[in-house]
Amino acid sequence: MDILIEGVGKQFEGFAALNPIDLAIPSGQLVALLGPSGSGKTTLLRLIAGLLPVDGGRIVFGGRDATRLSLRERRVGFVFQHYALFPHMSVFENVAFGLRSKPRRERPAEPAIRASVDKLLELVQMAALRDRLPAQLSGGQRQRVALARAMAIDPTVLLLDEPFGALDAKVRVELRRWLRTLHDETGLTTVFVTHDQEEALDLADRVVVMNRGAIEQDDVPDRVYGHPASPFVFDFIGRSNQIEGEVRDSLFFAPGMSTPLAGDGCRAGPATLYSRPHDLRLSESKRGLQATVQEVRRLAGRVTLEATLAGQARPLVMDLSSHDLLQLPQPGERVNLSLDRYRVFPTTR
């Protein structure tokens, strides 16, 4: 089921939680809504679900205007961050709840309900724990039950609000790979909210980066990381270095640079150069960045170098390669750095 969002926005007491946006989600895709707290991602998810009314625009499910339809009428499967399982019901009964709550004319017969729930419990690898209560399950197991319950109603789309937010790091990684496999098996159009950049880049077909109620970038994960559309995306996704300077005659000038760099198509005026730590490297050439080493750190099998440029407030962070380790510089040493890739954006004040 494809989803089309046209000019949809939402305000709360005069505050724009979501500015009017347009977004198209093709059928069968797994899409991440990624952004910091207050970016509008959860508001957008709840508008898609029908849990909040829109202030304007429309939401279309598979060519049908669903703007005024309820969550039940849209047949949306919604999974909350904290599971929202019924504590007094077994795993089986939690999953069966949605089917048993349908109007009588739509409710399957009891044998069909049991067969459907048994099939779902097998799918989410919870069949052996069908008689347990939620309190007897781990966090990852409870999240699987919540997913099975959302899928029991045969939803048109599956919506997940921070589905792994309450889990520890190891379980998060295991469960998100399992969710990717489950999505590929079911083919459901799935939209999930997260503030975890790694989670979004690893799991989704497309990443919609949001900030202050607007969409900053909508693209495949590799392009969101490798070709950020704005300074916010560059800074929010992964680690970044920033060098303040200015563009003149299509060249970028900054203190600490022996020669200017190409201005990357940026207009003349104050500008900021952004780069990733792995795009910086030690160089023997004098034509580049002249920096002073401040610190060399070893962390989790990775070695990073921190250095300062004259006239720059922020230090530069560089990931060292195995070749660099043979000539590891020491704090206080002057080094030359070159940039493999970077982007230059106008500086906004």
Print burial letters for 63-78: b (CB count within 10 Å at least 16), e (below 16).
Answer: eeebbeeebeebebbb
Residue 88, pLDDT score:
94
Residue 349, pLDDT score:
65
With a cut of 80, say whether residue 191 has pLDDT above it: yes
Q: Which CATH number is associated with domain 239-346?
A: 2.40.50.140
| Three-state secondary structure call for residue 224 | helix
- The mean pLDDT value for 55-67 works out to 95
Q: Is the pTM of this model over 0.85?
A: yes
- The mean pLDDT value for 178-187 works out to 89
- The mean pLDDT value for 313-329 works out to 79
Q: How confident is the model at residue 298 (pLDDT cuts 50, 70, 90)?
A: confident
Residue 323, pLDDT score:
64
With a cut of 70, say whether residue 183 has pLDDT above it: yes
Nearest to 163 by CA among 138, 144, 184, 188: 144
Question: How far is the C-alpha of 98 from the C-alpha of 104, rounded, in Å?
Answer: 12
Residues of the chain with CATH 3.40.50.300: 3-232
Q: Please tell me which of 22-36, 161-175, 180-194, 305-319 the model is most confident about, judged by mean pLDDT.
A: 22-36
Percentage of the chain exceeding pLDDT 70: 97
Nearest to 310 by CA among 241, 233, 258: 258
Average pLDDT along the chain: 90
Read off the tokens for 51. 């849990």
Residue 175, pLDDT score:
83
Residues of the chain with CATH 2.40.50.140: 239-346
Question: How far is the C-alpha of 102 from the C-alpha of 99, rounded, in Å?
Answer: 6
With a cut of 80, say whether residue 201 has pLDDT above it: yes
**β-pair type (30-34, 206-211):** parallel
Question: How far is the C-alpha of 309 from the C-alpha of 257, rounded, in Å?
Answer: 8
Question: How far is the C-alpha of 302 from the C-alpha of 30, rounded, in Å?
Answer: 31
With a cut of 70, say whether residue 212 has pLDDT above it: yes
Task: Give the orientation angle of helix 139-152 with respect to helix 110-123, to 10 degrees.
Answer: 140
With a cut of 70, say whether residue 325 has pLDDT above it: no
The fold for domain 3-232 equals: Rossmann fold (3.40.50)
